[in-house]
Amino acid sequence: MSKDKIGRNDPYPCGSGLKYKKCCQGWRKDSPGDQIPTDISAEIRQALEGRDFESLEDANAFLEAYMQQRDQQPLDDFSGLSTEQMHRMLYYPLDSPELVRFAETLAGEPEAPILTLFRLLAEAVGEQGLKPTAKGNLPRNFCREAALAYWGEETHRDRTRYGNINKEEDFSDLHVTRLVAEMAGLLRKYKSRFILSRNCRSLLSRSGYAAIYPLLLQTYSREFNWAYRDGYPDLSLVQQSFLFTLYLLHRYGDQWRDAKFYEDRFLQAFPMMLEEVPPGPFSDPEEKLRTCYTLRTLIRFSEFLGLAALESIPREDSFLKDYRVKKTALLEEAVQFQGFQAV
């Protein structure tokens, strides 16, 4: 893609996920109309040095081949991915079978928190449906029963120590599961009742929850807004790069690693994300971005979808926690990377 075809608000094809005007490559600022990544222009000048071309078309063909070859080279900043591969992961994560395939139906019924909650919801809906509240949410009694079944008595007692569950939003994981299930077309309202869709019933009848999970995974990844669950800035690239995070887990997740390991690699790949985080009175942009990344991608995505196991480690003299992360067998079954070796 030539510079003339890239608008200032278009994503730059280097794979950074940022707009052209904010690309992480670094700009030559001396001429506003001639903003070319300085490191790439130096490479091009070196590649052209000492070469003679019979026509402009020959020169352009050489440059096109050179850039294509460059874009296919693995980069340390992208943890071994090429620019082209990163671009596919960011913009076509579900449509890049040369890189990754998402299972349509699993071999057996998986274990994942979101699926546990959907199973409780589906059983409560049953054949008769489930009457919503006046605001259109799940009824309070069901939310309380689901919380007890999901958490167990001890955790439930601890979680409700300072207040019981009085509405769906008080049980955030269930609330999100219900929203994702509706987005996935598995659950809908009909004649003032929650019911399972025809497609959901067909999938359950044919393959059970092994066919339901892939829909929940893809919908949570691409359609549900991760920023909805917290008070951090939008930072949409954190969600847009979900497949890059799963690639990192696939490659490095055979052993327990600190969450900081994955934070470091995200920041290495997308350093300009720090400019997207406004400074706060109690934390700097990097600390805020790291915390947001771990919360959204490792805890509320990878763990909630059963793709990673997490262990919390309380910090001394702080209410905050650190985490260790390891991938699960479900990751390798549900998300099948092509040709990438684990480390």
Region class of 133: left (phi > 0), else alpha (psi between -120 and 50), else beta: beta
Q: Which of 305, 150, 300, 147 is nearest to 139 (CA)?
A: 147
Give the pLDDT band of residue 68 (cuts 50, 70, 90). Answer: low
According to the model, what pLDDT value does residue 342 have?
Answer: 65
Distance from C-alpha of 128 to C-alpha of 71, rounded to nearest angstrom: 55
pLDDT at 97 over 70: yes
Query: Out of 47-51, 104-108, 121-125, which region has the weakest mean confidence (pLDDT)?
Result: 47-51
Please give the domain boundaries of the chain with CATH numbers for all domains.
1-66 (no CATH), 113-207 (1.10.10), 230-337 (1.10.10)
According to the model, what pLDDT value does residue 215 have?
Answer: 98
Give the pLDDT band of residue 316 (cuts 50, 70, 90). Answer: confident
Centroid of chain to Cα 222: 8
How many residues does the structure list for the chain?
Answer: 343
> Would you call 305 helix, strand, or coil by DSSP?
coil
Rounded to whole angstroms, the maximal C-alpha distance in the chain is: 79
According to the model, what pLDDT value does residue 46 have?
Answer: 74
pLDDT at 5 over 50: no
pLDDT at 181 over 60: yes
CA distance readout (Å), 242 to 32, 94, 152, 157, 260: 34, 11, 30, 33, 17
Query: Out of 155-159, 179-183, 261-265, which region has the weakest mean confidence (pLDDT)?
Result: 155-159
Give the pLDDT band of residue 336 (cuts 50, 70, 90). Answer: very high
Distance from C-alpha of 148 to C-alpha of 154, rounded to nearest angstrom: 9
Distance from C-alpha of 244 to C-alpha of 70, rounded to nearest angstrom: 20
**Contact (Cβ atoms closer than 8 angstroms) between residue 338 and residue 273:** no
According to the model, what pLDDT value does residue 314 have?
Answer: 81
Centroid of chain to Cα 338: 19
Q: Which of 300, 284, 298, 291 is nearest to 321 (CA)?
A: 291
Query: Out of 11-15, 23-27, 237-241, 326-330, which region has the weakest mean confidence (pLDDT)?
Result: 23-27
pLDDT at 279 over 60: yes
Residue labelled with tokens 């007890």 = 148
Sort strands 308-314 and 321-327 into parallel, antiparallel or unpaired: antiparallel
| pLDDT mean across residues, the chain | 86
Structure confidence by residue, pLDDT tens digits, 196-232: 999 999 999 999 999 999 999 999 999 999 999 998 9
Query: Out of 26-30, 49-53, 143-147, which region has the weakest mean confidence (pLDDT)?
Result: 26-30
Region 66-91 average pLDDT: 85
Give the pLDDT band of residue 339 (cuts 50, 70, 90). Answer: confident
Region 103-127 average pLDDT: 96
**Contact (Cβ atoms closer than 8 angstroms) between residue 326 and residue 261:** no
